[in-house]
Amino acid sequence: MTFFDLLNTASNGLEAQRAKMEIISNNIANSSTPGYKRQIAIVKSKQEDPFATVMARELGIKDSEIPNFIAGNQVGRGIEISEVVVDKTPGQKLHMPNHPNADENGDIEMSNVDTLTEMLEMMYAVRNYKANLSIVEMAKAAAKETMNMGKAGG
């Protein structure tokens, strides 16, 4: 795994966790909105061309010669949000006959968001975000140390 692969993987993790936190925040914000349905982020392994492959194509290297251009094996690319699905579970029914969204029985369906579940999901996403951030910080410190070694040796 190269330095750029490491940063790319951590960056994808940061981006996916940030998007997941936004979805969770939206769920919490709408937990009291009648009829709102919880949204769930589906996370999957990210499949994309590595930076070196994109660079090789930009340099005009033929696809058949790219494996010779790239040093090392293919590595994971981290994660991404593949889709956002809506939880169709019905919310609690409340009898409010004067509410504009009331059905023929005078009931309204409340949101199906459980704020406790959402807070736990948020804590999990924040932990994952911090883990990816610490990888970026460690890689940054290693790169800085490597540059300092080059200065001392010259």
Average pLDDT over residues 79-101: 93
Question: What digits encode the pLDDT tens for the residues 93-146?
Answer: 999 999 888 999 999 999 999 999 999 999 999 999 999 999 989 988 888 888
pLDDT tops 60 at residue 87: yes
- Classify each residue of 107-117 as buried b or exposed e, where b means 16 or more C-beta atoms within 10 Å of its C-beta: bbbbbbbeeee
Structure confidence at residue 36 as a pLDDT band (50, 70, 90) = very high
Average pLDDT over residues 87-91: 95
Q: What is the pLDDT of residue 1?
A: 60
Structure tokens at 147: 């540059």
The rounded mean pLDDT for the chain is 84
**Which are the contacts of 78, defined by CB distance < 8 A and separation ≥ 6?**
8, 9, 10, 11, 12, 13, 16, 45, 46
Structure confidence at residue 7 as a pLDDT band (50, 70, 90) = confident
Backbone angles phi, psi at 103, to 5 degrees: -80, -170
pLDDT tops 80 at residue 47: no
